[in-house]
Structure 1
Amino acid sequence: MLVIQEEVKKVFVVFAEWGWTITDDENEAAKIDPSYRQANIEELNMLIACNGTIFNEVIESADGLVRWVFESVEDELGFEDVITCEYQLI
């Protein structure tokens, strides 16, 4: 049996004069905001709402390991109805 280990990245929230963002580069986070911290699920979901940024791999947040989940169904007219569109703990 072949087992593939996914790389787990940590994500950090940083605040600056121009606003806030999330990065997976800890060195960049420290340069932008010396008081950076690990991002939580709520912040990850807010980032998507603000600019559409998605980390598709398993990531380590302040809440634990999370994965991006997108589920949808097609209605009888062929339109896509989104069921789930968020980061979830795994």
Structure 2
Amino acid sequence: MPWWVTEQPVPPDAHCGDRHVHVDHQYVALVADPDEMIQEPEHPFRWVRPDELDGLAMFADTRLLAIGLFAIVPMLGAGDVDAVTVMRSLAGGGQS
């Protein structure tokens, strides 16, 4: 399942000649051995590392969420936090 889904109104582009809503599905994966990722994906997407974020064309809010997420990935991998708590924190919603 996606970690989060964002919807952003965008101007016409190469795919659609009218203003439209761009929907992004962001996924999180922890990879034990990056050299093992050899299968081509069925759909176009790209896995990125934290050091690649600055070079990507993305919405500013998506970049901020990605930076925050990369900061806590080690805790997620260790099971120290749960996804709901993290998302509330990144969204500024606190805990309930």
TM tier, smaller:
under 0.3
Larger strand percent = 1
Question: Normalising to structure 1: TM-score of the pair?
Answer: 0.25
Report which structure shows greater RCO (CA 8 Å, sep ≥6).
Answer: 1
Question: Normalising to structure 2: TM-score of the pair?
Answer: 0.24
Larger helix percent = 2
